[in-house]
Structure 1
Amino acid sequence: MSKRRESVYLSLKNLPSQVFVVLEAGCRWGTDFFNIMGLNMYTAPFDSGRFCIGKFRPMESSNSVLVVDLDGTLVSTDALVESGLDFLHQHPAGILRLPGWLRSGKAMLKQSLANNSSLCIEKLPYNDYVLELIRQAKQSGKRVVLATASDQAIARAVADHLGCFDEVIASDGGTNLSAARKRDALVQRFGVRGFDYIGNSSDDLLVWQASEHAILIDTPARVARAARRTANVSDEYSTQKTPLLAFLKALRPHQWAKNGLIFVPLMTAHAFSVDALGVALLAFVCFCLVASGTYLINDLLDIQDDRQHPSKCKRPFAAATLDPLTGIWSALLLVAVGVLLGVMLLPPLFVLSLIAYLVITLAYSLVLKSMMAVDVITLTVLYTLRIVAGSVAIETEPTFWILTFSLFIFLSLALVKRFAELQQARNKGETGKSAGRGYYPSDMEMVAAMGVGNGYLSILFFALYIQDAATIVLYSHPQWLWLICPVLMYWVTRLWLLTHRGEMHDDPVVFAIKDKVSLVTLLMIMAVFGAAI
């Protein structure tokens, strides 16, 4: 060792454990010298590029500290995105406040959203593999630190819930603790190579480089390759996910059956031409695209409520099998394509119906679904709006009695769904208001009475449709239509009896698609219509 280096080394040995040292950027003996001397040196360039600044401290045991990231690592989701979605769910008009928060910095945005949202910390999708790594670290006597770019309010809530962290380092409204800032904070506390780090994203590359052991969790292939080149990767874990299947599930293709109502005017008006059928098919496609977009939006806004539901917790966003950001962009694309197709190829009145459906659905997802009675009436309107859209698409007048029948039968089906939810809550001993709804388990009997009554009323209005003068002209044998009434009576009665017995576990439309008796009932009705024509 040269006398110059030896004198510097002896001087540094007598300094406090954390000191800033400024070296010329071209200094050839900078970082290597400190590592050789057993001192932990970390360097980062000034903006001018002429100097580098480092902090050194005595080496700590690489086995003494395990640092764990939160978003995408400890939990299989992004707390910022989820808190933002929950904020919009609770405060739809709050979207106007987001630009102001963002102008104050990303850290302020995170803090504001964390303080104005209600994430269900207990139900977050925790990664079992990471929890096992933490358990092993605690057993071996390591300090376990939660270091995250999420706001400190969320980070501390997670730490309090799990009860396994010795320290929490997080964004605080002023500093966004990601990438280089997180690395600097950890190096300041533990030194370079003084900790092991579990992370998942490109923001963690710099932190992995400063760690003794890099542990990769669900890391994209490109980022994983970069980590292997620049860091000491000791472990990699990938959750078995099927994003394509999760995406298809989130689109709810089984719900597209509801859009079959678009073809009802085609049948009732006997408009069986090839052109009319082509127009109806195109209208059906537009509604399916927009409907799937709104299903994505609804599920995104409902993540916190769905996680508390016995079956909805398996939905892709609630179960974290699909990234919320993917859902947001997909929803916007689906809605845009559906509306654009309508504008280009279908009558203006159809486009107005489609936009009305979109607006009402968004209002339902944001506000109306939590309002007693308003929620089921809104669902009824959305069903009936499909029939109206089918009529204007093929440019026919919607039949008054069919629209009235639709209002009452679909109100009955909407109440079936609410009754089933309340029944599940009562069976679990709950007495409070259902999550995200305006009903209590004690409302069950009233909901059932309204649902059964509306179901039978719908059959009355179908009978009035049969007797209508315009209907008699349309059919060669209109008297055959009377056979549909007892079939409907049987189906409505059976539906409500099964629901009352606790056998309705799905959306009633999904139930009808899966239920053999319902499918046979539908075939019988179609056969009677065919005979009447």
Structure 2
Amino acid sequence: MQESNKQKDNWQRPLCVDLDGTLLKTDIFHESLIQYICSNLLNLFRFLFLLVRYRKKSIIKNIVAKESNISLRNIPVNKDVLNFCMSEFRSGRKVVIASGCSEYIVNRLYSKFDFCSEIYTSSDQLNLIGENKAHKLVELYGEKGFDYIGDSKSDLAVWDKAFKSYLVGQEKKFPKVQYEKVFEKPKSSLKTLFYTIRLNRLVKSLSVFAPIFLFNTPESLVKSNFLSLVIASLLLSLLSISLYLINDLFDLEFDRRHLLRRARPVAAGKISIAKTVISSLGLSLFSIASVFLYFKLDVALAFLIFFIVGFLYSYKLKYLAIVDIASKAFLNLSRFYIGCLILGLSLNFEVCLFILLFIASFSCLDTYRILAQNLAVNGTLDNIKNPYGLNDLFFLKSFSVSLLTFSMISLLNVQIVNKWSGAFLLILSLYLFKGILNGKMKSYPLYYIINQRILQSAVVGFVIFFIIKQYVIA
């Protein structure tokens, strides 16, 4: 009888659950802030002004939440915690949301979690975290009159007043607390890291070596600048990773609506917004600072322009028809041009025209591939923000073929280009176009080459042949 009364008391205690990092895999304030800044870059300065004007974080939370217009439809949810809360609710227990999020946001989420009978959030006067949350719950239910699920250091004060404590995270993080149950967060694996940094796309940074094979580059120039080319390739890779992370932040809402991209670590909540921002800023600042310290001013400025255009591409340019293709072509051309600057090679108009047309054809081809893949997976193009429609797919395919054709015609007028390289590029291009037109190319063109044994053999064979002919026999 005593055991039965004890069980009854358990169900009379409300189960209080936090949102950020607990019931949700992400931080709502960080998501709102990113959306707020992404909607207008000038909002970054307005946010800094809010930090100076208002000392209470709760006021800033509410302002950002109301003006960000964040989409909550596909927000990543912690399924283990969700299932536990729903199980407790079905057993007759009251489930309460107690979160430091803005009241405006939580009210919108209330319909998503209809099993919650009450919600308590931050207001302009009170930031409901840490001691404030503990006092509020004690005031409502009494000390030891509730159970609590949390995930962070600020929840220690709440667990101290709770009857039973539940943790979302690693138990060793707060070893002094006795937990009734631990919902472990999956650790970031090596696969997650590779997926985040787009390891397969970093091969584009090897474009700095392309001038060696495309032009009749003297052996003395190659030997004296080879280390600089290696360093430039590594720094370009780091800068590209920072741009990919920035792109993931800009595309959060659209990635979550995409059947394939929703698995990206940032969109899925496997990597926090704060870590993504810090990593992006750190990599970009380190790369640009290293370039200005190691290379000459012209190379450093080329790196800086590459980063600025890459940032603008993620922010706005990729949503403009044709401009998106030109931007991608410019970024790929920048990698090649940096290699030319390091080697001290000058490019005349005919060479620039050939390279620009050739690279633009692949940029157009990649745009076509992305849209065709999205259409095949989702059955529509409406779930991604892009400037093209179904009727434009044929145009993109035809336009890419036209660009490649004109680039090959312009190649005939270029005297300094190694003819073996030109012939190899033509054969390689035709093979890649065959792959995309047949629907066999599902990834970026260079990554497609890496996964094709015939192309692997052709590329390796050409490199060996070129080195022997250019530097051994000569």
- Partner Cα separation in structure 1 for residue 288 and residue 298 of structure 2: 12
Q: Cα offset for 1:194?
A: 1.6
1:309 and 2:258 aligned: yes
Kindly indicate whether the alpha-carbon contact (under 8 Å) linking 1:422 and 1:434 is maintained by their aligned counterparts in 2.
no
Amino acid in structure 2 at the alignment position of 1:252 = R
Amino acid in structure 2 at the alignment position of 1:351 = A
Give CA-to-partner distance per residue, 1:219-270, whole Å, 9 cap, x none.
Answer: 4633x21323xxxx21112122225553343222322211111112233241
| Structure whose CA Rg is larger | 1
Kindly indicate whether the alpha-carbon contact (under 8 Å) linking 1:247 and 1:322 is maintained by their aligned counterparts in 2.
no
- Residues 474-489 of structure 1 aligned to structure 2 (within 5 Å): 478=419, 480=420, 483-484=423-424, 486-489=426-429
SS at match of 1:169: strand
SS at match of 1:80: helix
From 2, 5, 11, the counterpart of 1:63:
11
Kindly indicate whether the alpha-carbon contact (under 8 Å) linking 1:289 and 1:334 is maintained by their aligned counterparts in 2.
yes
Amino acid in structure 2 at the alignment position of 1:85 = I
Q: Cα offset for 1:516?
A: 2.8
Q: Cα offset for 1:157?
A: 2.2
Q: Which residue of 2 aligns with 1:462?
A: 411
- Partner Cα separation in structure 2 for residue 265 and residue 174 of structure 1: 62
Kindly indicate whether the alpha-carbon contact (under 8 Å) linking 1:179 and 1:206 is maintained by their aligned counterparts in 2.
yes
Q: Which residue of 2 aligns with 1:52?
A: none
- Residues 38-49 of structure 1 aligned to structure 2 (within 5 Å): none
From 245, 249, 252, the counterpart of 2:195:
249
C-alpha RMSD of the superposition: 2.4
- Residues 37-436 of structure 1 aligned to structure 2 (within 5 Å): 61-64=9-12, 65-102=14-51, 103-104=53-54, 105-219=56-170, 221-222=172-173, 224-228=174-178, 233-242=179-188, 245-267=191-213, 268-273=215-220, 274-398=223-347, 400-427=349-376, 433-436=382-385
TM-score, normalised by the number of residues in structure 1: 0.80
Kindly indicate whether the alpha-carbon contact (under 8 Å) linking 2:97 and 2:120 is maintained by their aligned counterparts in 1.
yes
1:504 and 2:441 aligned: yes
| Corresponding pairs, count | 457
SS at match of 1:194: coil
- Partner Cα separation in structure 2 for residue 168 and residue 265 of structure 1: 62
Q: Cα offset for 1:212?
A: 1.2
SS at match of 2:101: strand
Kindly indicate whether the alpha-carbon contact (under 8 Å) linking 1:92 and 1:366 is maintained by their aligned counterparts in 2.
no
- Residues 511-530 of structure 1 aligned to structure 2 (within 5 Å): 511-523=448-460, 525-526=462-463, 529-530=466-467
- Partner Cα separation in structure 2 for residue 396 and residue 482 of structure 1: 18
Kindly indicate whether the alpha-carbon contact (under 8 Å) linking 2:259 and 2:378 is maintained by their aligned counterparts in 1.
no
Amino acid in structure 2 at the alignment position of 1:272 = E
SS at match of 2:175: helix
Kindly indicate whether the alpha-carbon contact (under 8 Å) linking 1:384 and 1:403 is maintained by their aligned counterparts in 2.
no
Give CA-to-partner distance per residue, 1:38-86, whole Å, 9 cap, x none.
Answer: xxxxxxxxxxxxxxxxxxxxxx944331111111101111111111112
Q: Cα 1:485–1:61, aligned 2, differ >3 Å: closer, same or farther?
A: closer
1:440 and 2:386 aligned: no
Give CA-to-partner distance per residue, 1:305-334, whole Å, 9 cap, x none.
Answer: 211122222222112222221222222221
- Partner Cα separation in structure 1 for residue 224 and residue 171 of structure 2: 48
Amino acid in structure 1 at the alignment position of 2:107 = R
- Partner Cα separation in structure 1 for residue 422 and residue 468 of structure 2: 12
SS at match of 1:216: strand
Q: Cα 1:316–1:153, aligned 2, differ >3 Å: closer, same or farther?
A: same
Q: Cα offset for 1:481?
A: 5.2
- Partner Cα separation in structure 2 for residue 281 and residue 485 of structure 1: 23
- Partner Cα separation in structure 2 for residue 89 and residue 347 of structure 1: 33
Q: Structure with the greater relative contact order (CA < 8 A, sep ≥ 6): 1 or 2?
A: 2
- Partner Cα separation in structure 2 for residue 429 and residue 246 of structure 1: 23
Q: Cα offset for 1:461?
A: 2.7
SS at match of 1:92: coil
Structure 1 residues without counterparts, runs of 5 or longer:
1-59
Q: Cα 1:308–1:344, aligned 2, differ >3 Å: closer, same or farther?
A: same
Q: Cα offset for 1:520?
A: 3.6
Q: Cα offset for 1:399?
A: 5.3
Give CA-to-partner distance per residue, 1:396-447, whole Å, 9 cap, x none.
Answer: 2135444333322332222233323333444467556452322223322222
Structure 2 residues without counterparts, runs of 5 or longer:
1-7
Q: Cα 1:123–1:215, aligned 2, differ >3 Å: closer, same or farther?
A: same
- Partner Cα separation in structure 1 for residue 125 and residue 400 of structure 2: 53
Q: Which residue of 2 aligns with 1:24?
A: none
SS at match of 2:187: coil
- Partner Cα separation in structure 2 for residue 482 and residue 171 of structure 1: 64
Amino acid in structure 2 at the alignment position of 1:345 = Y
Amino acid in structure 1 at the alignment position of 2:384 = A
Q: Cα 1:341–1:492, aligned 2, differ >3 Å: closer, same or farther?
A: same
SS at match of 2:37: helix
Q: Cα 1:403–1:528, aligned 2, differ >3 Å: closer, same or farther?
A: farther
Kindly indicate whether the alpha-carbon contact (under 8 Å) linking 1:455 and 1:492 is maintained by their aligned counterparts in 2.
no
- Partner Cα separation in structure 1 for residue 372 and residue 400 of structure 2: 14
Q: Cα 1:526–1:463, aligned 2, differ >3 Å: closer, same or farther?
A: farther
Kindly indicate whether the alpha-carbon contact (under 8 Å) linking 1:401 and 1:461 is maintained by their aligned counterparts in 2.
yes
Kindly indicate whether the alpha-carbon contact (under 8 Å) linking 1:196 and 1:214 is maintained by their aligned counterparts in 2.
yes
Kindly indicate whether the alpha-carbon contact (under 8 Å) linking 1:69 and 1:147 is maintained by their aligned counterparts in 2.
yes
Amino acid in structure 1 at the alignment position of 2:200 = H
Kindly indicate whether the alpha-carbon contact (under 8 Å) linking 1:265 and 1:390 is maintained by their aligned counterparts in 2.
yes
Q: Which residue of 2 aligns with 1:493?
A: 433
Q: Cα offset for 1:202?
A: 0.6
- Partner Cα separation in structure 2 for residue 142 and residue 432 of structure 1: 44
